[in-house]
C-alpha cells in the first residue's frame, strides 16, 4: 500500500517534530511537502530531503496540489491564530487534517471546524500528543480496565522546562489553555467522564509573566459525577527537566507514570546517588510519542482507526480550561456547563 503523503505547515518546533516523524522510514507515511510563512525556511527543509516540495503557506501548497497531486493529508503546526483558516482550507481541498492543539481558543470556531469536517466526511484530529505516550497510555488503559478498581483520585503534574520566551507566552493563550489543556484532556481520558466543577488558584512568581496577566504556577481541582477528584498542578519552570507525571488512585491500587531520564546511568559518590536530570523538554520526552501520534493520523487517514480525540474532547477541554481560568481570576469554583456537542 502506498504511504500517506504528508504536507506539514508551520516549521517551528512542533512542525519540525512532525517533519522528522514523517521522514522516519515508516512505510505508512511519506513527507512530500512543507510550508512556512518564512519561505526560505521551507526551502531549507525541502532541500535536505529528496522529494519534498516547499511552499510559503498552506494555501499555496493546496493550490499546487490541486494541479500536481502532491500530498494526501495535512499536518498543521502554525500559531493557533492561523489554525481555523488552515484547517478549513485543507478540509475544503479534501484533505484529512491533524492540527496541533488547540484547534482554537474559541469554542464556536472549534465547532465550525468539526462541522466542516463532518460535512466533508474527512477526519479532523486535534493533536494532544500525550494520548499516544506509552506510559500515559498504559496508565489510562489499566485504569479503564478496572485494574485498580473504582477510580478515586487523579493527579496530573506538568512543569515546563525551559521557561518559554515572552514572545511565545504572549500568544500562548495563557497557562490554563496552553499547558492545562493537556492535563484536562488526560484526566477526562483516564476517568472517562467530564467534571462537574473546577476550582483553580494561581501565582506568578516570574514578573514578566505577571505583567502579562498570566500565571506561572497553578493548582486546579476538578470534581466528577462518580465522586472522583482530579488535581492538576502546573508550573512554567522545572529546572530539573521537563516534569510530566500522572497518578491514579483506585480502591484496589495506584498507577503512576513517572518521568524518565535520557540514560540509565547511576552515579554514586560521597555526595549521594544520582541519575540524569529528566528529559530536557517536550521534544526529547515525547520523541516517540509524537511519532506514534503521526502514525495514528496515518491510520486515521487510511480509515483503519478512529481519531483518538473527538469533537467533544476538543471542545470540552477548551470549555474546562476556560472555566479554570475564570475560577483563578474570580477565586470561586466554577460549574462546568455546555459540554454537550449536540447543544453546540
Q: Which of 150, 192, 193, 284 binds its own copies (CB under 8 A)?
A: 150
- Torsions phi, psi for 198 (to 5 deg): -135, 145
Residue 277 engages its own copies in binding (rule: CB under 8 A): yes
Distance, in Å, from the CA atom of 253 to the CA atom of 22, rounded to the nearest integer, reads 39
- Torsions phi, psi for 252 (to 5 deg): -110, 5
Q: Around 78, how many Cα atoms within 13 Å sit in the side-chain half-sphere?
A: 24
**Residue position matching grid coordinates 486515521:** 300
User: By C-beta, is 265 or 304 nearer to its own copies?
Assistant: 265
H or E stretch covering 231: strand 229-235
Residue 326 engages its own copies in binding (rule: CB under 8 A): no
User: By C-beta, is 73 or 249 nearer to its own copies?
Assistant: 249
Region 41-100 residues binding its own copies, contact defined as CB under 8 A: 48-51
Distances (CA, A) of 88 to 81, 84, 204, 284: 13, 6, 36, 31
Q: Which of 40, 106, 138, 211 binds its own copies (CB under 8 A)?
A: 138
How distant is the alpha carbon of residue 324 from its chain centre?
Answer: 18
Residue 148 engages its own copies in binding (rule: CB under 8 A): yes
Identify whether the C-beta of residue 97 lies closer than 8 Å to the C-beta of residue 76: yes
Query: For its own copies, which stretch binds (CB under 8 A), given 87-95, 113-121, 175-183, 200-208?
Result: 200-208
Sheet holding 29-35, edge to edge: 53-55, 29-35, 4-9, 73-76, 97-100, 124-127
Residue 284 engages its own copies in binding (rule: CB under 8 A): no
Residue 186 engages its own copies in binding (rule: CB under 8 A): no
Q: Around 220, how many Cα atoms within 13 Å sit in the side-chain half-sphere?
A: 36
Q: Which of 85, 144, 223, 344 binds its own copies (CB under 8 A)?
A: 223
Least distance in Å: CB of 292 to its own copies? Answer: 12
Residue 281 engages its own copies in binding (rule: CB under 8 A): no
**Residue position matching grid coordinates 474570580:** 330
Residue 343 engages its own copies in binding (rule: CB under 8 A): no
Query: For its own copies, which stretch binds (CB under 8 A), given 118-126, 153-161, 293-301, 310-318?
Result: 153-161
Residue 201 engages its own copies in binding (rule: CB under 8 A): yes
User: By C-beta, is 165 or 274 nearer to its own copies?
Assistant: 274
Distance, in Å, from the CA atom of 234 to the CA atom of 209, rounded to the nearest integer, reads 14
- Counting residues that bind its own copies (by CB under 8 A) gives 79
Q: Which of 13, 253, 284, 337 binds its own copies (CB under 8 A)?
A: 253
Distance, in Å, from the CA atom of 187 to the CA atom of 190, rounded to the nearest integer, reads 5
Least distance in Å: CB of 269 to its own copies? Answer: 4
Query: For its own copies, which stretch binds (CB under 8 A), given 72-80, 83-91, 270-278, 307-315?
Result: 270-278
User: By C-beta, is 260 or 326 nearer to its own copies?
Assistant: 260
Amino acid at each position: 500500500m502506498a504511504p500517506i503523503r504528508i504536507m506539514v505547515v508551520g516549521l517551528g518546533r512542533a512542525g519540525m517534530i512532525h517533519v522528522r516523524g514523517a521522514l522516519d522510514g515508516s512505510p505508512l507515511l511519506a513527507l512530500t511537502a512543507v510550508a512556512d510563512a518564512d519561505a526560505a525556511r521551507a526551502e531549507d527543509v525541502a532541500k535536505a530531503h529528496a522529494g519534498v516540495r516547499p511552499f510559503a503557506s498552506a494555501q499555496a501548497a493546496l493550490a499546487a496540489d490541486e494541479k500536481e497531486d502532491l500530498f494526501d493529508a495535512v499536518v498543521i503546526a502554525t500559531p493557533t491564530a492561523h489554525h481555523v483558516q488552515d484547517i478549513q482550507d485543507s478540509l475544503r481541498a479534501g484533505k484529512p487534517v491533524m492540527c496541533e492543539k488547540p484547534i482554537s481558543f474559541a469554542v464556536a470556531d472549534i465547532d465550525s471546524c468539526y462541522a466542516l469536517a463532518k460535512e466533508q466526511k474527512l477526519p479532523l484530529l486535534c493533536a494532544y500528543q500525550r494520548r499516544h505516550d506509552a506510559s500515559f497510555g498504559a496508565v489510562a488503559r489499566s485504569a479503564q480496565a478496572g485494574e485498580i478498581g473504582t477510580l478515586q483520585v487523579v493527579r496530573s503534574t506538568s512543569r515546563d522546562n525551559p521557561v518559554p520566551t515572552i514572545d511565545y507566552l504572549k500568544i500562548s493563550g495563557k497557562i490554563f489553555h496552553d499547558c492545562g489543556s493537556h492535563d484536562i484532556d488526560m484526566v477526562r481520558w483516564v476517568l472517562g467522564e467530564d467534571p462537574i466543577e473546577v476550582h483553580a488558584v494561581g501565582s506568578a512568581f516570574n514578573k514578566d509573566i505577571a505583567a502579562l496577566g498570566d500565571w506561572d504556577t497553578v493548582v486546579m481541582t476538578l470534581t466528577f459525577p462518580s465522586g472522583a477528584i482530579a488535581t492538576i498542578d502546573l508550573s512554567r519552570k522545572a529546572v530539573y527537566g521537563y516534569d510530566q507525571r500522572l497518578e491514579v488512585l483506585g480502591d484496589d491500587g495506584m498507577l503512576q507514570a513517572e518521568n524518565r531520564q535520557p540514560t540509565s546511568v547511576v552515579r554514586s559518590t560521597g555526595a549521594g546517588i544520582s541519575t540524569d536530570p529528566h528529559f530536557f523538554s517536550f521534544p526529547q520526552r515525547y520523541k516517540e510519542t509524537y511519532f506514534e501520534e503521526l502514525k495514528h493520523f496515518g491510520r486515521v487517514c487510511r480509515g483503519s482507526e478512529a481519531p483518538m480525540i473527538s469533537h467533544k474532547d476538543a471542545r470540552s477541554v477548551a470549555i474546562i480550561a476556560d472555566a479554570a481560568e475564570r475560577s483563578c481570576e474570580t477565586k470561586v469554583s466554577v460549574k462546568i456547563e455546555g459540554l454537550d456537542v449536540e447543544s453546540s
